[in-house]
Amino acid sequence: MKNAYFESMYKEVRDYQEKKEAAKKQRSKLFDEEKYDEGTALMKAFEEENKFPYTDGAMKAYWAYQNMNYRGSDCFEVEDLPWPKDMKDFAETLLEAGIDAITVTDQSTGLMDGIYGLCENAWKMGALKTVTRENDHHFGTNEPETKNGIEFTIA
């Protein structure tokens, strides 16, 4: 499933990373010339002038999108919910991307905090749902893997 919002996030992050890599190469050249202070100042200036374009919560939503596509999930699967401090940005990013239903398959010890966090950020817990991952197979078979989850929709 392609999503224009998440694809634009990818392009923006890729562009940021390319700029950062170019700055790191310049720093390496300066370090090779034993100009350590200049190299350190270069990276500090880069980081001050070029903030990473997305929050941790937004990136958690992006990685859920990437993982869902990689696994061939039959719905928008979220296997790893964000920390409570990142939940608002996570939920907002999903909404901005036009995602109106997700299935949470997270099994971490923080799952209950994640459920409450979603509910506090405009999501409503729904029915139990099984996710089928077409690109993941049970060991030794061609059967797609399945994961049990809970569906959430926009409240």
The tokens describing 145, both together, are 């893997």
Q: Quick one: 26 and 60 in the same domain? A: no
Contact in structure between 130 and 100 (CB atoms under 8 Å): no
pLDDT of residue 119: 97
Please say if the pLDDT value at position 155 is more than 90: no
Regarding whether 31 and 98 lie in a shared domain, the answer is no
Residues 78 and 39 reside in one and the same domain:
no
Classified as helix, coil or strand, 148 is: strand
DSSP string, 111-141: HHHHHHHHHHTTEEEEEEEEEEEEEEE-TTS
pLDDT at 108: 93
Query: Are both 42 and 88 inside the same structural domain?
Result: no
Give residue-wise pLDDT tens across range 55-83. 999 999 999 999 999 999 999 999 999 99
Kindly give, in sequence order, each residue whose CB lies less than 8 Å from that of residue 110, ignoring residues fewer than 6 positions away. Answer: 81, 83, 84
Question: Would you say residue 138 has pLDDT above 80?
Answer: no
The sheet that has 144-154: what strands, in order across it? Answer: 77-78, 101-104, 144-154, 123-137
Range of the domain at 119: 56-154
Q: State whether 30 and 69 are in the same domain.
A: no
